[in-house]
Structure 1
Amino acid sequence: MSEIANSGAVVIDRADGRDDGEDWTENYTELPGGVGISLILESTSQEGVGPRLHLHHYPETFVIRRGSAVFTVGDSQLVGKAGQIIVVPAETPHKFRTGPDGYEALHIHESSSFETVWLE
């Protein structure tokens, strides 16, 4: 993490040193500047991966940039694909599995740190 001189802006570099967006999964909590959110960046070419069933005490927003994933949200299943935004309400069990063309998304947690209740 570095600060841009005299601007107050903070630049957070990729932890593994790569300068592309491929096969990248990284969690960002306690972001500088008191933004009040935490982030997961996820990019994979693998099919069938994703977190097990869980919930948060706050909403989670998925901004899908590439590929697709099958989401389980509560009692429903839906296919989220590139160009869509999915908002999962607080206290709602959810999980996903990436599709055949992989998946790239930004997951926005409406909390400055992750608070996850694992259900499986």
Structure 2
Amino acid sequence: MPHILRAADRDPNASRTITFEGDRFGANISFFAVDSGPGAHVGLHVHPYTEIWIVKSGSVRFTAAGESHEAGPNDIFIVEPETPHGFTNIGDDRLEMVCIHDSGTIIQTFLGEGDA
């Protein structure tokens, strides 16, 4: 059976980032559709599966496995399972990107202070 999750059905006071977990719909994929302001960040964390980001607009600094990488529109960034990673919006505009999780549920363990 097809499903549609309409923006009008979400809490208007909630974060502008959309969270989707596919298990509920029989899909083995989950994602965050990130929409965050300048300076927003997500602290270092790990997942037991691969994560892939597609940057749609803005500028982001990814930190993964102790290295920093800057990315912009249409760049794709990938980390393997159990790789410590996080990101920061380093631009003056909103950051929009999709964070694809290779799992029907989002499983993440934060590693320290400053976690989102």
- TM-score over 0.5 for the pair: yes
Instruction: Kindly state the Cα deviation for residue 33 of structure 1 after the two structures are TM-superposed.
Output: 3.8
Secondary structure in structure 1 of the residue aligned to 2:42:
coil
Which is further off, 95-104 or 30-39?
30-39
Q: Deviations over 1:82-105 (max 9, x none)?
A: 111111111100011002222101
- Looking at secondary structure, tell me which structure has more strand per residue: 1
Q: Tell me whether 1:12 sits opposite 2:42 in the alignment.
A: no
Which TM-score applies when normalising by structure 1?
0.81
Structure number with bigger Rg: 1
Q: Is the 8 A contact 1:69 1:80 kept in 2?
A: yes
Corresponding position of 1:84: 75
The runs of 5 or more residues in structure 2 that have no matched partner are: none
**Aligned mates of 1:106, 1:16 — CA distance in 2:** 20
Q: Deviations over 1:43-89 (max 9, x none)?
A: 13x21112111010000110110011111011110001111111111
- Looking at secondary structure, tell me which structure has more helix per residue: 2
Q: Is the 8 A contact 1:70 1:96 kept in 2?
A: yes
Higher relative contact order (CA 8 A, sep 6+): 2
- Runs of 4+ in structure 1 displaced over 4 angstroms? none
Which TM-score applies when normalising by structure 2?
0.84
